[in-house]
């Protein structure tokens, strides 16, 4: 039963009946069928097909083959008892070249997915952009080019009209921080470019796309959905005397560069000042902030771990300034003197520190800043090196991670945070971006040779939680 211990290992905690438990995935990570039924090429196809970009040389050509195994996967979700499923839509399946012609086969696929969810009593939560930009748009500058935001608006209008009678929650973007800073700053993610000014232009054009996308959805949907965006807000810990200044700089780039325009209607002045030697922010045009600053119904938060930062003393050996993803350039333009400090374990297989207390604090902080905005956890989970034993996967570390983080969620709610749901990352093992298949996040195992799905012990545990709304033993 509930121990109340500070180690966040409570069991027996009860979640409200209307709290929604589900699972999340993303199109490029699970679908495969990369060149079938009219799908265009995305930046992740190009990136993963480029030698040296993915640590284990893998790509998403087949991955979980979800595109061909849709019914099986829907049945799996039903078996787990999921109440909601957060998936993303592959833009190049809908508009293969990024502009103009629409691919009906792509629309049909997502229409079958949404119908299949509804038939099984599972709420569809659709993300419009989880990083798979059509390659022809990247060839014209990608997110550094303002035009991409307008192409996003067009794509949104198409898919919004097609699914806008059934999708319950629309999420415009997943983690625009990654798209901008890892895609155009550090180069760890597609398209692999490394220019600080480009990364900041991408930040703004992604924000603009969010606003344009919301307006497009509002104009075409016929049901009464909720609108949202998913941010990977950074939970930051300052180290030593310079910690507070380092936190301020990283908070500006990593968090307030998005929450500022989206939720307050302005870029924070300190962000503009910190980056003044890199860009004059001339890409922000008159009227943009009004477009970006629109009401949303729920804010999606993805959380995995914390970051500890301080200002480099200029003497001791410099630690990577890029946090927890491999990188060539910098993911933090303008924060050149910020140093990311190794944190205490335990760690997941990603090397990320396990910190449920950081999760609770983040949720409390976000709620304090936006008290009227409901929150939803749109991703949380952990990679561990799973072993199959007699056809089962005993993964107590993952269950422990989930228990601790769900305890954090519960404690935040007890503390008054308005949290509406929790989507575990991920439904099943999949292509983990620059890490390929080397990191397994699923509560369901995928054997990449046979594509057989096996529910892990953590999946059975999660399924019990979903059904009872009580954190199991
Ligand atoms: C998040 C991504 C998601 C997954 C997890 C582990 O940054 O949104 O696709 O890769 O990390």
Span from the CA of 303 to the centroid of ligand 1 (angstroms): 9
The alpha carbon of 278 and the centre of ligand 1 are apart by a number of angstroms equal to 28
Cβ(429) – ligand 1 distance below 6 Å: no
Count of domains for the chain? 1
Give me the pLDDT at residue 316, please: 72
Among 436, 432, 452, residue whose Cα is nearest residue 388: 452
**56-76 per-position pLDDT tens digit:** 999 999 999 999 999 999 999
Tell me which residue range forms the domain holding 198: 20-468
**Helix orientation angle between 457-468 and 396-414, rounded to the nearest 10 degrees:** 30
Is position 473 within any domain?
no
Residue 177 beta carbon below 6 angstroms from any ligand 1 atom:
no
**Pocket of ligand 1 contains residue 73 by CB under 6 Å:** no
- Most ligand 1 atoms within 8 A of CB, residue of 23, 55, 173, 175 to mutate: 175
The answer to whether the beta carbons of residues 5 and 60 sit under 8 Å apart is no
Q: Is 433 in the pocket of ligand 1 (CB under 6 A)?
A: yes
User: Which pLDDT does position 318 carry in this prediction?
Assistant: 63
Query: Given the CA of residue 441, which atom of ligand 1 is nearest to it?
Result: 6
Cβ burial 58-71 (10 Å sphere, 16+ → b, else e): bbbebbbbbbebbe
Q: According to the model, what pLDDT value does residue 432 have? A: 98
Would residue 3 count as lying in a domain? Answer: no
Q: How far is the CA of 73 from the centre of ligand 1 (A)?
A: 20
Pocket test for ligand 1, best of 325, 429, 432, 437 (most atoms within 8 A of CB): 432
Residue 14 lies inside a defined structural domain of this protein: no
Candidates 353, 408, 430, 362; CA nearest to 25 is: 430
Q: What is the pLDDT of residue 100?
A: 96
Q: Does residue 6 lie within any of the structural domains?
A: no
In a domain, 10, yes or no: no
Structural domain contains residue 455: yes
For ligand 1, what atom is nearest to the CA of residue 439? 6
Percent of the chain with pLDDT over 90: 93
- Identify whether 345 is preceded by a cis peptide bond (ω within 30 of 0): no
| Confidence class for position 327, pLDDT limits 50, 70, 90 | very low
Q: How far apart are CA 362 and CA 355, in angstroms?
A: 11
Binning pLDDT at 50, 70 and 90, where does residue 11 land? confident
CATH number of the domain residue 226 falls in = 3.20.20.80
Residue 232 CA: nearest ligand 1 atom is: 7
Give the separation between CA 388 and CA 457, rounded to whole angstroms. Answer: 11
CA 174 to ligand 1: nearest atom: 8
Average pLDDT rounded to a whole number, residues 169-174:
99
User: Which residue has better confidence, 113 or 327?
Assistant: 113
pLDDT at position 314 is 78
Instruction: Please state, in angstroms and rounded to a whole number, the distance separating the CA atoms of residues 456 and 40.
Output: 34
pTM of the model: 0.97
pLDDT category of residue 462 using cuts at 50, 70 and 90: very high
Question: Up-side HSE of residue 253: CA atoms within 13 Å toward CB?
Answer: 29
Domain assignment present for residue 5? The answer is: no
Name the residue at shortest CA distance from atom 9 of ligand 1: 26
Is 232's pLDDT higher than 70? yes
In this structure, is residue 13 part of a structural domain? no
Measured in Å, residue 176 CA sits from the centre of ligand 1 at: 11
Q: Is residue 6 predicted with pLDDT exceeding 90?
A: no
Q: Mutate which of 60, 425, 428 to test ligand 1's pocket (most atoms within 8 Å of Cβ)?
A: 425
Return the axis-axis angle of helices 70-80 and 104-119, rounded to nearest 10°. Answer: 30
- The least confident of 272-281, 313-322, 361-370 is 313-322
Stretch 192-213: mean pLDDT:
98
Decide whether any atom of ligand 1 lies within 6 Å of the 132 Cβ.
no
> What spacing in Å lies between the alpha carbon of 254 and ligand 1's midpoint?
16
Query: Of all protein residues, whose CA lies closest to atom 10 belonging to ligand 1?
Result: 432
Dist CA 92 CA 113 (whole Å): 17
CA of 273 to the centre of ligand 1 (A): 30
User: Does residue 295 have a pLDDT over 80?
Assistant: yes
CA–centroid distance, residue 24 to ligand 1 (Å): 10
302 touches ligand 1 (CB under 6 Å): yes
Question: If DSSP codes are grouped into helix, strand and coil, which group holds residue 349?
Answer: coil
The per-residue pLDDT for range 26-62, each reduced to its tens digit, is 999 999 999 999 999 999 999 999 999 999 999 999 9
* 232 within ligand 1 shell (Cβ under 6 A): yes
- Whether 178 is in the pocket of ligand 1, judged by its Cβ within 6 Å, is yes
Nearest to 101, CA basis, from 146, 131, 134: 134
For the annotated catalytic residues, the residue numbers are 175, 379
For the chain, what is the mean pLDDT?
A: 95
Verify whether ligand 1 is closer than 6 Å to residue 432 (CB atom): yes
- 442 CA distance to ligand 1 centroid (A)? 12
């Amino acid at each position: 039963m509930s121990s109340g211990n500070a180690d966040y290992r409570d069991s027996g905690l009860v979640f409200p009946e209307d709290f929604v438990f589900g699972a999340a995935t993303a199109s490029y990570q699970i679908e495969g069928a990369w060149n079938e039924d009219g799908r265009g090429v995305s930046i992740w196809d190009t990136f993963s097909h480029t030698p040296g970009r993915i640590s284990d040389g893998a790509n998403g050509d087949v991955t979980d083959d979800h595109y061909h195994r849709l019914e099986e996967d829907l049945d799996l979700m039903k078996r787990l008892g999921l109440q909601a499923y957060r998936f993303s839509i592959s833009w190049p399946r809908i508009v293969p070249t990024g502009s103009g012609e629409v691919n009906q086969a792509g629309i049909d696929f997502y229409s079958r997915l949404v119908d299949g969810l509804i038939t099984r009593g599972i709420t569809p939560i659709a993300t419009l952009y989880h990083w798979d930009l059509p390659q022809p748009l990247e060839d014209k500058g990608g997110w550094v080019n303002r035009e991409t935001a307008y192409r996003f608006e067009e794509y949104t209008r198409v898919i919004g009209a097609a699914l806008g009678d059934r999708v319950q929650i629309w999420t415009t973007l997943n983690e625009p921080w990654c798209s901008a800073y890892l895609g155009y700053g550090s180069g760890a993610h597609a398209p692999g470019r490394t220019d600080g000014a480009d990364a900041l232009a991408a930040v703004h054009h992604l924000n603009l796309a969010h606003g344009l996308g919301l307006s497009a959805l509002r104009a075409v949907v016929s049901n009464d959905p909720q609108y949202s965006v998913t941010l990977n807000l950074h939970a930051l810990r300052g180290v030593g005397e310079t910690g507070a200044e380092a936190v301020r700089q990283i908070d500006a780039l990593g968090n307030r560069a998005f929450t500022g325009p989206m939720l307050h209607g302005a870029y924070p002045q300190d962000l503009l000042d910190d980056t003044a030697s890199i860009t004059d922010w001339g890409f922000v045009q008159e009227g943009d902030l009004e477009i970006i600053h629109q009401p949303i119904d729920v804010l999606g938060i993805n959380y995995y771990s914390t970051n500890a930062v301080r200002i480099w003393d200029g003497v001791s050996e410099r630690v990577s300034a890029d946090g927890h993803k491999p990188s060539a350039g910098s993911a933090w333009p303008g924060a050149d003197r910020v140093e990311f400090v190794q944190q205490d374990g335990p760690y997941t297989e990603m090397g990320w520190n396990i910190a449920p207390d950081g999760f609770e604090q983040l949720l409390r902080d976000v709620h304090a800043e936006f008290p009227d905005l409901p929150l939803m956890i749109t991703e949380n989970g952990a990679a561990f090196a799973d072993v199959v034993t007699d056809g089962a996967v005993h993964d107590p570390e993952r269950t422990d991670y989930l228990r601790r983080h769900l305890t954090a969620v519960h404690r935040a709610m007890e503390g008054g945070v308005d949290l509406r749901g929790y989507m575990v990352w991920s439904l099943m093992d999949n292509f983990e971006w620059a890490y390929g298949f080397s990191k397994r996040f699923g509560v369901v195992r995928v054997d990449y040779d046979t594509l057989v799905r096996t529910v892990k012990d953590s999946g059975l545990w999660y399924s019990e939680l979903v059904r009872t709304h009580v954190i199991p033993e």
